[in-house]
Amino acid sequence: MITLEPLRPDHAEAVLAFERANRAYFARTVPDRGDAYFAAFADRHAALLAEQAEGTCRFHVVLDAAGLLVGRVNLVDLAGGGAELGYRVAESAAGRGVARAAVAEACRLAATVYGLTALTAVTTVDNPASQAVLLRNGFGLDHEFLLDDRPALAYRRDLADLR
């Protein structure tokens, strides 16, 4: 069982530890955040909270049954009834349905709490686990493109069935 919580100021330490612990794992399938992200993390965290307060983005931490941060799920660029979904799950939680459940909950929140009608998501071609999470949550392949010179796939999900 997982829980999504909106990002708060007191999540900063746990989010930074999560990102550091999983940096190499994430870099296998998504572009690395770079050293600057970690060096200026406090400023970045504050900027995310400001974006969330403005209502342009919705950031969430994913907590396991013990309350440990095992993932992040974000809805960014909320506009015109849509947003882009992004997510990452700790290597220690991979393969246990955490991403599937977190994305399902994010879709539900997007439709029922945030009033969105559609979501988009992107993953690299070499990340079949992420593709499976999206497909299992009702996303359909929209198009292919290059993401930082890597083949990538864009997905889309209509949220009408969740309202």
Cα 133 from chain centroid?
12
Full domain range(s) for residue 106: 3-162
Exposed (0-12), middle (13-18) or buried (19+): which is 104, by Cβ within 10 Å?
Answer: middle
pLDDT at 28: 87
- On whether the CB atoms of residues 105 and 74 are closer than 8 A, the answer is no
Domain containing residue 97: CATH number: 3.40.630.30
What contacts 24+ positions apart, CB below 8 Å, involve 19-27? 21/90, 22/88, 22/90, 22/91, 25/90, 25/91, 26/88
Give the model confidence (pLDDT) of 83-141 as tens digits: 999 999 999 999 999 999 999 999 999 999 999 999 999 999 999 999 999 999 999 99
pTM of the model: 0.95
Domain count, the chain: 1
Find, among 73, 56, 84, the residue nearest to 11 by Cα. Answer: 73
pLDDT above 90 for 43: yes
